[in-house]
Chain A
Amino acid sequence: MIRAICATVVACGAISLPAGAAPLDVKIGYLGRADRTETISLVEMPPGNDGIAGAQLAIDDNNTTGKFLNQSFSVEDVRLKDQDDPAAATMQLADRGISLFLSDLRADMLLKASDAGRARGLIFFNAGAIDDRLRQQDCRANVIHTAPSRAMLADGLAQYLVWKHWTRWLLVVGSHAPDKLYADALRRSATRFGAKIVQERVFEDTGGARRTDSGLVQIQSQIPLFTQSAPDYDVLVAADESQVFADYLPYRTRDPRPVAGSAGLEPTSWDAALDQWGAIQLQDRFERKFSRRMTPLDMQAWTAVRMIGEAVGRIGTADPERILDYMKGPDFSIAAFKGRKLTVRDWDLQLRQPILLADGRTVVSVSPQEGFLHQFSELDTLGIDRPETKCQLK
């Protein structure tokens, strides 16, 4: 439409924007996972377009804005299996002129893709991997993280539990590697904010199907048995990213105690129930477009694509190096329906963000909690702060 107006109005300068005239076509590559994770709850099964749907909605939002700026945006979706080579997939997209990438790949695959892309100046937005090592020893100068880290999630939960004076935790950890990493983050948070882990138990994954026709009869007696004879505790905190047992805990513990972590009250970047700070508008447009609710991965991808749109709109170029510099700088921020501006930590390229605490039906609270202070930004009470970072960006 703007083009039409420009044609009739003599002075196109009426559109007082950095790149008013020259059309700009911005292509984004999306590196997604081909495999689907199994969940205990049928309603939590990730949809086939988890993540990419958020990116596509943000493309629409960028294009609505772009029509006033003569900018257009598109995303190309590539799905990789565990055995596929992410470097090769990245190079194929790069050969077609793509230099901005979103990823919801696992940490090791993301690193292969981003390291392969460095020589060609490609930049990556990690929308999926919460591993702290990607923000610490394995951080990269060409990878920005819109997914919160495990440390941020654990800190967001710990602040709320401490605010509630639920400071005695029974920690139950799954037997898979990501579960152990989540437990590490929870232990760190407990120490930071003054909670005590009264005991730790490991829930071994002995295999087997998550759904059986015999149903829940056995679980109803297994979980009380597993949680009996514990020292006095206020809350059971579960570390079960692999979705083997945590969802079986609520209402089945031996003692009547709330459950948090991987079930019950869960820390997250987004919840379909969030309706404040204008979020209902985003939830509505997402549901209209995709006929389903918006997941955390959708939101992390939406945020990444909006960050690209925001940067390109402000600086008038899609040059990845300029975008990266702008995002690291003091002038960049993104509004993402969390009640405050989100900015990028310059020491590890993690997007600062509040952490929602949701129980699957409502948003119970949002961290940082009141009273957890910080000399620069209260958002930096969540996750690895500048003085403790092991990241050396290069």
Chain B
Amino acid sequence: MWLRLVLGMALSALLAGEAGAFTAYVSNEKSNTVSVIDTEKWAVTKTIKVGQRPRGIAYTKDQKYVLVAVGDDDTIQMIDTTTNEVVDKLPSGPDPEFFTQGPDGKFLYVANEDDNTVTIIDIARRAQVGDVQVGVEPEGMAVSPDGKILINTSETTNMAHFIDTATRQVVASVLVDARPRFAAFKQDGSELWVSSEIGGTVSVIDPVKHAIKKKISFAIAGMRPEPIQAVGINLTRDGKIGFVALGPSNHVAVVDGTTHEVKKYLLVGERVWHMAFTPDEKYLLTTNGVSNDVSVIDVGALKVVNTIQVGEQPWGVTISDR
């Protein structure tokens, strides 16, 4: 009885502790490092040296590695998440910037900006298994929740390309506003959101009809339209809220996922690029490229509650799912 009580207390203490303690990895484009953040302490616990110009960053689905694209070294490095050391690399093709995985985590799809190609890599075999020719300067990447469609956005062609992951053929292309940077599906697969950096908009696309059903624009009081440049997009799992990072405007827009109306603009650090939720969706972390920090947004309260200094010019962020 006594033992059970103690055990019970210990267990609940452990659970309470775990609720907030996730690990975030932030790529610092200029310092060639990755900062490791403890999301309970909101502090950097380690800085990992990586290759040159780290940008795209993501956990593998099995959580064993964090992958980071180091564009100027023409590869994707693999950080072991138990030792926090670079242990291996993937043959990404030239100048990888951004990549994504299917739901099963078997293949990695990499945007190679320099040669209008999406490269497909078998992660377990560390081998290239195919490529797809797309538009000029491929950038944004997303896989539909059912794993059947890969989206690639091409920045100078200004399209979202729909690629069948089985046949590896482009099956449709949708014109969006200038310099599309990022693509994100709703979890139920009903909508695809694509941000246009220079256009300053988010196109909400019907993934079945391949048609834009709504274009979200942004206006921040007292600010010229030019710095309002849409980049990263993160949608909550229930699809009710979309967060859109607005680059040099230093704001993140909070968008109603149903009506597509902008509800609020949150002031974060300077030049906000990308974002990631903690798995409980209590917090959203943003990378701020000019102020060299990460802002922490309380998703329930829609407020910025913390700022963490990281390396120079933070770009991407990924968070463990447990």
| A residues in contact (CB < 8 Å) with B | 1-2, 5, 9, 14-18, 61, 64-65, 68-69, 278, 281, 284-285, 306, 310, 313-314, 333-335, 339-341, 377-379
Contact = CB atoms under 8 A, between A and B. Distances in A.
Given A5-B170, A281-B137, A377-B224, A65 B114 contact: no
Interface string B147-161: 000000011111101
Given A281-B114, A285-B114, A335-B156, A65 B136 contact: yes
B226 interface: yes
B158 A310 contact: yes
Contacts of B171: 5, 9, 14
Q: How large is the interface on B (under 10, 10 to 19, 20 to 34, 35 or more residues)?
A: 35 or more
Given A310-B158, A335-B179, A340-B226, A68 B198 contact: no
Contacts of B200: 341
Nearest to B177: A333
Closest 7 A/B residue pairs (Cβ): A65-B157, A335-B198, A335-B178, A68-B173, A14-B172, A340-B226, A341-B198
21 contacts: A14-B172, A17-B173, A17-B174, A17-B175, A61-B156, A65-B154, A65-B158, A68-B157, A68-B161, A68-B173, A281-B114, A281-B137, A334-B178, A339-B248, A340-B198, A340-B227, A341-B178, A341-B198, A341-B200, A377-B224, A379-B226
Nearest to A379: B226
Contacts, number: 89
A243 B257 CA distance: 59
Contacts of A333: 178, 198-199
B210 A14 contact: yes
A64 B224 contact: no
Nearest to A285: B114
Contacts of B224: 377-378
B209 interface: yes
B136 A15 contact: no
Interface of B: 95, 113-114, 116, 133, 135-137, 154-159, 161, 169-175, 178-179, 198-200, 209-212, 224, 226-227, 229, 248
A73 to B, nearest CB: 13
Nearest to B174: A16
B135 A65 contact: yes
Nearest to B115: A285
Contacts of A341: 178, 198-200, 226
B95 to A, nearest CB: 8
Contact of A284 (B114, B135, B174, B212): B114
A61 B199 contact: no
A378 B212 CA distance: 31
A1 B114 contact: no
Contacts of A306: 156
Contacts of A335: 155-156, 158, 178-179, 198
Contacts of B179: 278, 335
Contacts of A61: 136, 156-157
Contacts of A14: 171-172, 210
Contacts of A334: 178
A5 to B, nearest CB: 7
B113 A68 contact: no
A381 to B, nearest CB: 12
B161 to A, nearest CB: 7
A379 B95 CA distance: 32
Given A5-B169, A17-B174, A68-B170, 18 more contacts: A1-B170, A15-B172, A17-B173, A61-B157, A64-B135, A65-B136, A65-B158, A68-B135, A69-B173, A281-B95, A284-B95, A310-B178, A335-B155, A335-B156, A341-B199, A377-B226, A378-B224, A379-B226
A310 B157 CA distance: 8
Nearest to B211: A16
A276 to B, nearest CB: 11
Contacts of B173: 2, 15-17, 68-69
A64 B116 contact: yes
B226 A68 contact: no
Nearest to A334: B178
B175 A278 contact: no
A349 B136 CA distance: 27
A140 B178 CA distance: 28
Contacts of B229: 340
Contacts of B157: 61, 64-65, 68
A37 B171 CA distance: 50
A33 to B, nearest CB: 28
A278 B155 contact: yes
A5 B156 CA distance: 23
Nearest to A8: B169
Nearest to B139: A278
B55 to A, nearest CB: 12
B208 to A, nearest CB: 10
Contacts of A16: 172-175, 209-212
Contacts of A379: 226
Nearest to B162: A14
Contacts of A310: 158, 178
A285 B135 CA distance: 14
A61 B248 CA distance: 27
Contacts of B226: 340-341, 377-379
Contacts of B114: 281, 284-285
Nearest to A339: B248
B284 to A, nearest CB: 26
Nearest to B156: A61
A171 to B, nearest CB: 32
B169 A278 contact: no
A161 B226 CA distance: 24
A18 B175 CA distance: 9
A2 B170 contact: yes
Contacts of A65: 135-136, 154, 156-159
B245 to A, nearest CB: 16
A313 B175 contact: yes
Contacts of A313: 158, 175
